[in-house]
Amino acid sequence: MLPEDVVSAILSLTSPLDVCAFSLVSSTFRSAAEFDVIWERFLPSDYQQLLSRLDLPLKFSTKKELFFHLCNSALIDGGRKSFRIEKSSGRKSYLLSARELSITWGSDPMHWSWKKMAESRFPEAVELITISWLEIHGKITTQMLSKNSKYGAYLVMNISRRAYGLDTIPSEVSVKVRDRVSNGMAYICRQDIKKLKMDSYCMQREQFPNEREDGWKVLVSLRIMEFCVSYV
């Protein structure tokens, strides 16, 4: 049987899921799978900085415990962002709060209502009252993301049954990474989605929202674009 330090060195070259699976093989693998050297490799290289940005400090005694803590979404930067790592790979993902976005007339109470919503993970959310021109911008630095990873940009929202006008025409969506810009079209509202998808031309050219059942509410997650992060 190989020594535990050799086993741990081998396990550190695999993935978090592989380590958990190998820990069931024998007591040696199970013991080696607890080594900090393994789980520190799976943690983001900037995890110390991320810990300093958490709104609520984490209590942990091992790197494995820290890894699984960070697999659950946690608020950072004064509740303006949510962060977590992917359990299978350790890749980072972020969710920006409404306060972190640039929204057309977002500070005008005639158009938007800022409030605390029980279904939102953030301290504050915003509700659209009425508007004739809707434009939303979000920004994040690629250095915050995991390198050599494929990412998707999504708009997550809760659409009221009384909402109107969002399904009249598709919206323009785009993602800019450095000097590259990807443009597309997307329907924001879920109304008549099945009917629209019957049109093969629409299916090829436009994006549609995905509905996620979460208790009584329906959250719509709209994929805007996919992009790859590659930096030194």
Helical residues (DSSP H) of 23-128, grouped into ranges: 27-32, 36-42, 47-53, 63-70
CA distance 167 to 19: 47
- pLDDT range class, residue 133, cuts 50, 70, 90: confident
Phi, psi of 173 (to 5 degrees): -130, 150
Is the per-residue pLDDT at 228 higher than 80?
no
Query: Rounded to whole angstroms, how far apart are CA atoms 122 and 112?
Result: 17
* Domain extents in the chain: 1-42
CB neighbour list of residue 57: distance below 8 Å, 6 or more residues apart = 51
3-state helix, strand, coil in the chain (%, to 5): 25, 30, 45
Averaged pLDDT for residues 140-161: 86
Could you read off the pLDDT of 205-219 as tens digits, one per residue?
A: 556 556 665 533 444
Tens of pLDDT, residues 18-60: 999 999 999 999 999 999 999 999 999 999 999 999 999 999 9
Query: Is the confidence at residue 204, as pLDDT, over 90?
Result: no
The number of residues in the chain equals: 232
Who wins on pLDDT, 168 or 176? 176
Q: How confident is the model at residue 200 (pLDDT cuts 50, 70, 90)?
A: very low
Spatial distance between the Cα atoms of 94 and 48, rounded to a whole number of angstroms: 17
- Residue 150, judged by CB atoms within 10 A of its CB (0-12, 13-18, 19+), counts as exposed
